[in-house]
Structures are given as structure tokens and as C-alpha cells.
Structure 1
Amino acid sequence: MKRRHIYPLLLLSASISFAGCKNTEQDTTDPLYIAANNPADVPTVPPVPITNKIQVALLLDTSNSMDGLIEQAKSRLWNIVNTLTTLKYSGQTPDIQIALYEYGNDGLAQQSNYIRQVAPLTTDLDLISEKLFALRTNGGSEYCGAVIQDATRQLTWGNDEKDMKLVYIAGNEGFNQGGVNYKEAIRDALVKDIFVNTIFCGNAQEGISLLWKDGADFAKGKFFNINSNEAVQYINTPYDDKISECNVRMNSTYVNYGAQGQVKKQMQVQQDANAESISTANYTERAVSKSKEVYKNDSWDLVDKVKEDKEAVKKLKKEELPKELQNKTEAQIKAYVEQKAAERKAIQHEIATLAKKRQEYINAEAKKNKSGADLGDAITASIQTLAKQKGYSVEK
């Protein structure tokens, strides 16, 4: 608005300065003339895109008694991802990053407090799935304060006030074990605006007496208790098979490139198989996640890469392309990638339509058969509550 007020003044000043000149014609291409006579034509500054993040660190106890917890995590990963994809900030979808830690495993080094960072904060959801399915239980000595401290200090947390940063720690031993005071670790997390949520694997009263609720209360997070030995209850729907068929077709739209391209494409297929090994419903949840904007593979998929960099094809060497494209011209490769992008977009739209009907069916059935909360239910409930506190909206 200020520019529209000042330009007429400048134009008036310019007219006075040159009043004595014989040629008093005004240049109609002059920005000052345009601003004064056609204010609607003045270029506007485009809005700065929102680049905030939702970051989630999962800290899982992998001691001997926690096989059920790991199974629930495998079963609920894609459900958690799909919950995160419903969150919007000012109508836009934030980047979603997930990290994974294991703790309480005697197979890990004592000097590291029996803790291992399995995966850093990453948008590579297939990597998280692969690492999760590789976890094995053993031992242990569970130091909650130490693993919270490691996650707080080691991970690259966002520093934008719009970022939502969440830690979920799940286990079943005393919350105050080990040499790191859990309140000091949580205090450090709060300084970084990280919400720590605790999930006790056992009955609620025991979780309270073992200080898991105290940890959540001190962290301004949520306390939950779950039966980690109870199998996840799935609701099969009339839409699962069709979504699964769409997933197979969608996989054919990925065009691998680079040194890791073929390996990553195989990993994608393997994580499909891992999800299916849990249940048909879990496989369907993964397919829905893959249809979302947050499922990004620009590090190995040429379709995603071209979205980020229009000149990506030109920059690639022949040997970085899949064999079927190595003898094609640049124009032919671009046309091929555009075709695959169009196919994927259509399939994603088809899955989105089916997924909405599927969720409506699940919601209706869940009301009829209420069961105890599992790991996914606990995380989903807290995500939605905390998201509203941070100014996010939840899409239905």
C-alpha cells in the first residue's frame, strides 16, 4: 500500500522538475506512470512459502519384554504417518520427518547407556520402515533420561516457532533409572520447544508409580498406557483390495536414477512386503501414505526429482539412468518422466478418493467395537491434541 501512495507524489515531483522543458510528454512505460495510472498493474511480492516441519522421534524400549511393543510399532507406522498428513498449517502441508531410537538393549554398548540412534530425523519413510522391521529385542537396562537427552541433543530439530517437535518414549521399567535425571533431560527438551510424551506398557497405576506420568506432566506432554502384548485390532474394509491394486500400479511410475536408485526402488517393494506381512490393513495404510505429498523420493526417483528441479534430466549422466532410458534423447526422457508423473497423479487421486471412503467405514465400525488403546492410538490422539495447541488444523 505504501508504494501506491508514494509513486503519485514522485510523479508530481518529476513533473514540476521538468516543467520548463519543451518536451513534456510522459513515458507510458515508465514504472512511475504505470503506478500512478494503473495501480493494479504494479507487481506484487509473492507470499513466502511455509516451510515448517512436523518432527517425531520414536524412542522404543527393545529389552526382552518388548517384542509386543515392536510389533505394534511395525503395525502402526503407516497409520501414524497418515495421521500426520492430515495436519495443515495455514492450509499447507508441512514437511514430516521421523527419527528412531532403541534403548534398553544389552546388545548395545554400555558406554552409550545401551542406546542407539537407529535413524536420524528424515523424510525417507521407507528407511524408517526398514530399520523398524530390523529391530530385535535383547536384555536390558532401560535409561529413559539418557535416551531423551540423546534425542534432544543429537537430532537436528527445527527452530521455527511453527515447527511441531514431538518425542514419544515407550517402555515398561522405572522412568528414573540410569545416570541422567529425566527431569534435566526434559528441561533441555522444553528449551527447544520439544514435547515429550510417555507411553507405559502396562496398567495405568503402575505407569504412575514408575513415574511415567510424572515425566509426561513435567514435559507438558501426554501420558498413555497400553497393553503392548495385545495384538493390534484391524478393521478390514471393502476398499482395501482396490487400494492395494492402485499401489501396484503406482509402483510402476517410479523411475530410478543414480548410484542408489535401483537399491532404493527394491527397498520400496520390500517395505510393501513388510507391511503386508503384518496384515492386509497395514499394507493398505502404507499404500495410502505413499499417495500423499509427504512420501518423497527425490533422492532416487526421477519423477519426484523433476518436481524439485526442472533441469534434473539434463544434469544426469547416461550411466545414472536406468538401462531402458540410457539410449534415449533428453526430449524422450523428459516425455517419459512427464507420462509417469501424470499416471502417478491420477493413481494418487484414485487412492485419495478410496481412502476417504475407507476411513469413514473404519470410523463407523470403530464406534461399534471399542477396544483398548495401542501404540498407534496413543500417538494419534496426542498428535491431534498438540497440533491444535500449535495452531495446526486437522483435515477430515
Structure 2
Amino acid sequence: MKNLKHLLGITLFTIAAGTVYGCNIKVKEKEDMAFLTTKVSEKPAKQYVKIALLLDTSNSMDGLINQAKAQLWDIVNEFTHARCGTSSRPSLQIALYEYGNDDLASREGYIRQVIGFSSDLDEISEKLFSLTTNGGEEYCGQVIQTSLKQLDWGKNADDLKMIFIAGNEPFTQGKLNYKDAAHNAKEKDVIVNTIFCGNYEQGIHTDWKSGAMLTGGEYMAIDHNRQVVHIETPYDDVIIKLNTQLNGTYISYGGLGAAKVAAQREQDSKAYGMNKSVAVKRSVSKSSRLYKNSQWDLVDAVEDDEFEIEELEVEALPKELQGKTEEEIKAYVAVKKKEREKIQKQIQELNAKREAYIAKNQKEETGELENALLSAIKNQAAKKNYRWD
């Protein structure tokens, strides 16, 4: 009877653990018995997709930076539909490094962390637009190692952790051997994908393919100076108009509020300045679950269990809510929330029609960097049982 109870206990634990492990639902044939003694509560409840972009910002890389600015929103919009196995949807975090720029400190290997892992899409966009190019030494192994050391990659085996490094000089430059960096990446369960900006065969001969294969990543070569193809649709102007209405549903609070509202509109303007289609893609991102601003917006903040409106100081509220009762404030937030959800739904519905229009009328690929990133992301996500719906 004792043996039967013990076996039953292990079976129930295995079922529970399989439910908690959202993305890796395949059960190993041989389990380490030590695993069975681990508490289920120690497993992180939320899964993350963590992407570090390591961009060469030397003189020849203006085209690469422009593609990154234009196609950030394609990546975000792709992950809006991602799911971990059959359960939760992952949170997306993006980090950004620049390397190979004379303006950067030589003692740091001409490397700079532009932004650590962040889900603040406006700030990520702002940092991308802040990049400028200048000649310099390009140390691929060192920038990979720096990102592995500085960033919090976490230890959840279900997280999808990827580095994308793009450049056009030999992968072997610098004192730190890229093979050592790749070994360290594997230890952290981080996949290194390499994007050579130039001829495919030249990238192979300069070890960019080798740099990817060591971690099971993908090697890609792109024409970084190629103009991104944008297809205008009959739905673009309506989506951009709805985006302006969407901005009106944000209720800023606290010390960050006013500056973040300004930043939101500034990034709208910069996206539109690149191309109307980029502004549309950003608008679609803003209508998705991944665009959250609970640190400065009351509508998003009230969704957090730990946030309490009544704990805010009067001075932290926008002027239109100062002097209002708690009930009046909550009612105002509820109205804005309902308004936002309606606008977001309209944008999503129009975007579905927009994507169908593009698929029908598209005669060539939309963007070199976009295609490289999304292809690798989909392939590597599938290996961890991520799916799209």
C-alpha cells in the first residue's frame, strides 16, 4: 500500500508539473529523481521571450539601423499571437546593444548597452532612433559576452532566449574568442543568431555562420542597404486616425506621466516620419496586449493587483482628476478603459483586412532584416513548443 501511495503521489506531481511547465510539455523518458522533489511553486509562473539585438553602428551600417527602426513593430506584432504550448502567452522583452563605433569607449571594446531587457516599447523605439553611426573596431565575441554578462537572462527553461548580432566585418575580431562566448551562451540556454550584412558566402568565410552554429542558431545574410518595401493599403489612414483617438484614452499619473505621454506621441511622429506603413505597424502594436504602460497610465495600472488608486497622492493625479472622489476617479478610468478596448478592437479588425490586402498585392519581400529575424524566431520558438494563434 505504501508503494502504491508513493507511485500515485509521483504520478499526480508529474501531471501537475506538466501543467505548470507551459512550453516544454514533452515529458522526458528518464526523469532525474531529484527533480521530483522540487516544489512546483518554485517554477516561475510567467514565460518570457527575451531578445537581445546587437547592432554594428560603424560607418557602413546606416541601412541596418534604418531597417531596425522600421521593423521593430513587425517583431512586436508577431509575438502578440504567440502562446506557450497550450497555455499562457509570453511577455516580450527586448535589449539593445551597439558596437563597432568610434564614439564608444575603447576600454569597453567599443560596446554600449543602449537599453537592458525592457517591455517599454516607446523607450525601445526611442533608443533605436537615438543610434548614430561612426567607424570603429567590431568585436563580435566581446559584445556577445558582454550581453550575456550584463543582462538578466533568467533560469526558466521555458523562456525563449535569443541574441541577434548583425554586422559586416570578420566575426573573429577582438581578443575574446567568439567560440568562448558561444560556449557561455549555451550554458545560459541562449541561442546566438548571426546576420551578416553582405554577401552570403563572404559571411561564411569570415566565420559568421560558425558563430551561429555553435549554439544551434541560424546564420543569415542580408542586403542591409536595401530599401524596405512598404505596401500602402486602403486601411492605413483609418488606422492612423484611430491611433490618435487611442492616445486620448491614456490617463497619465505620477512623476513619469507627462514625459511618457510626450514620448508616446514623439515615437508616433518618428514612425510616421519614416513611412506611413511604419506608423500603421506601430499603431497595431499599440492595440496589442504587449503595449502596456502601467507605470504611468491609470488604465493599465488598475489591471495590476498590487495597484490601489486610493494610495496615490493628489499631486500624482492629472489635473482633471484632482479634487475628484475615489468613486469618480474609478468611474472615469472605467470609461477610458472601455473606450480603449473598443478602439483597439477596431484597429485589430482593420489590420486583419490590411494584412489580407498586402498578401494579395505583395510582389516582393518586405524587408531583409524583418524576414531574417522572423524566420529564425519562428523556427527556434517551435523547438520550445511555442505556437501562434
> TM-score if structure 2 supplies the norm length?
0.87
Alignment of 1:61 with 2:78, yes or no, is no
Residue 247 of structure 1 aligns with which residue?
A: 243
Q: Is the 8 A contact 2:229 2:367 kept in 1?
A: no
Query: Counterpart amino acid of 1:288?
Result: V
Corresponding letter in the other structure for 2:388 = V
Q: 3-state DSSP class of the match of 2:152?
A: coil
Aligned equivalent of 2:370: 376
Q: What SS does structure 2 have at the residue aligned with 1:308?
A: coil
1:81-100 alpha-carbon deviations (Å, 9 max, x no partner): 11122211124221110000
Residue 117 of structure 1: aligned partner:
113
Tell me which moved more, 106-115 or 76-85.
76-85
Runs of 5+ consecutive residues of structure 2 not aligned to the other structure: 9-42
Partner amino acid for 1:260?
Answer: L
Specify every segment of 5 or more residues in structure 1 that has no aligned partner in the other structure, as ranges.
Answer: 6-47
2:12 match: none
CA distance in 1, matches of 2:200, 2:214: 17
| Higher alpha-carbon Rg | 1
Q: 1:81 to 1:337 in 2, by over 3 A?
A: same
Q: Does 1:362 align with 2:376?
A: no
Mapped partners of 1:109, 1:336: distance in 2: 50
Deviation per CA, 1:287-324, whole angstroms, max 9, x where unpaired?
00011111110010011000113752111000001111
Q: Percent identity?
A: 49
Structure 2: distance between partners of 1:153 and 1:313: 38
Corresponding letter in the other structure for 1:267? A
Aligned CA distance change for structure 1 residues 310 and 185 (closer, same or farther; 3 Å): closer
How big is the shift at 1:374? 0.9
Q: 1:101: which partner in 2? A: 97
- CA offset at residue 231 of structure 1? 1.1
More deviation, 188-197/234-243? 234-243
Identify the residue that residue 227 of structure 2 maps to in structure 1: 231
**Aligned partners of 2:127 and 2:117: how far apart in 1?**
13
In 1, distance between residues paired with 2:110 and 2:353? 44
Query: Is the contact between residue 84 and residue 383 of structure 1 (CA under 8 Å) also seen in structure 2?
Result: no
Query: 1:218-263: CA deviations, max 9, x gaps?
Result: 1210111111111111111121111111111110000000001100
Which residue does the alignment assign to 2:35? none
Which of 76, 84, 90 is the equivalent residue of 2:79?
84
Contact map agreement 1:226 1:372 (CA 8 A) in 2: no
Contact 1:204 1:225 in 2 (8 A): yes
Matched, 1:390 2:384: yes
Q: Residues 251 and 208 (structure 1 numbering): CA distance in 2 closer, same or farther, change over 3 Å?
A: same
Counterpart pick for 2:270 among 271, 274, 287: 274
| CA displacement, residues 125-146 of structure 1 (integer Å, 9 cap, x when unaligned) | 1111001001000111000000
Residues 227 and 376 (structure 1), Cα distance of their counterparts in 2 relative to 1, 3 Å cut: same
Per-residue deviation at 1:376? 1.1
Segment drifting more, 266-275 vs 353-362: 353-362
Q: Name the TM-score, length of structure 1 as normaliser.
A: 0.85
Residues 301 and 307 in structure 2, CA contact (< 8 A), matched pair in contact too: no
SS at match of 1:307: coil
Q: CA deviation at 1:327?
A: 1.5
Match among 213, 216, 234 for residue 217 of structure 1:
213
Distance 1:238 1:265 in 2: 29
* Displacement after TM superposition at 1:371 (Å): 3.9
Residues 271 and 278, structure 2, Cα contact 8 Å, conserved in 1: yes
Q: What is the aligned counterpart of 1:318 among 314, 321, 326?
A: 314
Count residues with an aligned counterpart.
349
In structure 2, C-alpha distance between the alignment counterparts of 1:296 and 1:79, rounded to whole Å: 17
- When the two chains are superposed, the root-mean-square deviation of aligned CA atoms in Å is 1.7
Q: Which deviations, in whole Å up to 9, do the C-alpha atoms of 1:272-295 show, x marking residues without a partner?
A: 011101101000000000111111
Q: 1:360 to 1:325 in 2, by over 3 A?
A: same
- For residue 161 of structure 1, report the CA deviation from its aligned partner: 1.3
Q: CA deviation at 1:355?
A: 1.3
Q: Distance in 2 between matches of 1:380 and 1:239?
A: 24
Alignment of 1:1-396 (within 5 A): 50-89=45-84, 90-309=86-305, 311-366=307-362, 369-371=363-365, 374-395=368-389
**What is the DSSP-based 3-state SS (H/G/I as helix, E as strand, rest coil) of the residue aligned with 1:150?**
helix
Letter in structure 2 aligned against 1:385: N
